[in-house]
Amino acid sequence: MNPAAPTATVQGPPEGITSTGTAESAPLQSDVVGEKTVTSAADPSQGIPTGGEIVPITSVLESGYSILPTVVPTGTMSMSAAEPAPTAGTRGDCNATAPAEAGKGKAGLGWMKDSGECASDFLQPGNKVSWGWNWSAKRELVPAVLDFVPILFGGDNDTISGFREAKDQWGFGVTSVMSLYEPHLAERANITAENAAGIHKEVMNGMKGVYEIGGPVMSQDTTGSIEVAKKWYTDFYVACDQGCVIDFLPIAIYGTDITKSIGQITEWYNLFGASNGTPIWIVEMDCRDLSTAQGCPAEAAEAYARALLDWADSTEWVHRYAWFDAFVTAGSDKDNGNSLVTSTGTLSDLGRRYAYGPAQ
């Protein structure tokens, strides 16, 4: 048995959701979780919420990308000068000198078969990478030292059967699981909220008390809006009728405006997590114009990452995050500044910062 995590059952529509399953139009204000005030980004001119505090926004790039001033959270982004992050190398000649070890931070790796051979470069002493996932129910190449987070990618019978078969092989390296992947999008799982609620109850609820259970992974549409996702998830909550076990809310956020991105994450938490203290996992994030699918150039990507990582590390209700991506050949990220690895599979400048924090 895996270590049991505290498990919360959905208690019905969260605050801000009507009994008919529609989101109220009134602007979000703030919610209090314990003694912590969470302020929404309904008024971007006020700044960006960071764990209850408001941080002023500064635009520093002529290209128009809006980022936050650099903030280094205490104890989360530092790297010992005696243990420098690996530097550039070649595939098959990785720079890791010590056995791989998991870090203790919130950072995770989206790791697939084309992610290169140098996973150990992310996992040297001083790293903050604690978990990994691969859009699958099977660990495959996700490094064994990391907490692996499987996902039920779709709702068809074959995918559900494969998920259950994989579950028998998880062992002690799994403590959390995630439900359906982007079911609200036609090009992904494409499942109605009502059917998704039934699948979640059938497949995920039975793991209560053994694994921490995530809800369906939600994301923006190609315009960068979260309105479709909000409507779908509202309907999902209503269809669950207090019967879906959900311990965390996984979301994917992309953008070029850090103010908007953090505002969307905060709005999602205020709508679906704040009333019962359900934390957010940002399972995908990077600097990208969704209307063109074009990733940002290196300077803008690093600025966006710096701001988003600093905010996520200092925000109590963000429990985990994973940058997209650590691929060598998949998609177009090898040609833009978002990739954590180089074309040889070793760490890029952004990858070193992601895994080890800013250089000292």
Query: How far is residue 296's CA from residue 335's CA, in Å, rounded to a whole number?
Result: 10
* pLDDT of 46 strictly over 50: no
Please give the residue that has the higher pLDDT: either 274 or 7: 274
Per residue in 326-343, pLDDT tens?
Answer: 877 544 455 678 989 887
Q: Name the DSSP letter for residue 227.
A: H
Distance CA 166, CA 137 (A): 6
Positive or negative, the CA dihedral 300, 303, 306, 308 is negative
When mean pLDDT is compared over 46-50, 267-271, 330-334, the highest value belongs to 267-271
**pLDDT tens digits along 207-265:** 999 999 999 999 999 999 999 999 999 999 999 999 999 999 999 999 999 999 999 99
Residue 88: CA atoms inside 13 Å, Cβ hemisphere, count? 6
Give 156-214 pLDDT, tens digit per residue: 999 999 999 999 999 889 999 999 999 999 988 899 999 999 999 999 999 999 999 99
Domain coordinates in residue numbering, the chain: 31-36+61-73+100-356
Q: Give residue 78's pLDDT.
A: 30
76: left (phi over 0), alpha (psi -120 to 50) or beta: alpha
Which residues are registered as beta bridge partners of 175?
none
Lowest mean pLDDT among 20-24, 66-70, 99-103, 273-277: 66-70
Query: Per residue in 105-121, pLDDT tens?
Result: 999 999 876 676 788 89
Phi, psi of 206 (to 5 degrees): -65, -15
Q: Which two tokens stand for residue 128?
A: 């903050």
> pLDDT above 90 covers what percent of the chain?
60
d(CA 305, CA 229): 24
Percentage of the chain with pLDDT > 70? 71
Given a contact cutoff of 8 angstroms between Cβ atoms, the answer to whether 212 and 175 are in contact is yes
How far, in Å, CA of 42 to CA of 27, rounded? 6
CB burial of 313-348 (b: ≥16 within 10 Å; e: otherwise) equals: bbbebbbbbbbbbbbbeeeebbebbbbbbbebbbbb
| 86, HSE (Cβ side, Cα atoms, 13 Å) | 28
Averaged pLDDT, 323-328? 85
Residues 246-255 pLDDT 10s: 999 999 999 9
**Cα separation of 194 and 196, whole Å?**
5
Which residue in the block uniquely carries the two structure tokens 């931070």? 105
31-36+61-73+100-356, CATH topology level: TIM Barrel (3.20.20)
Distances 10 to 247, 249, 321 between C-alpha atoms, Å: 9, 12, 22
Q: How much is the pTM? A: 0.77
Mean pLDDT of 271-279: 98
Largest alpha-carbon pair distance within the chain?
58
Residue 126 pLDDT exceeds 70: yes
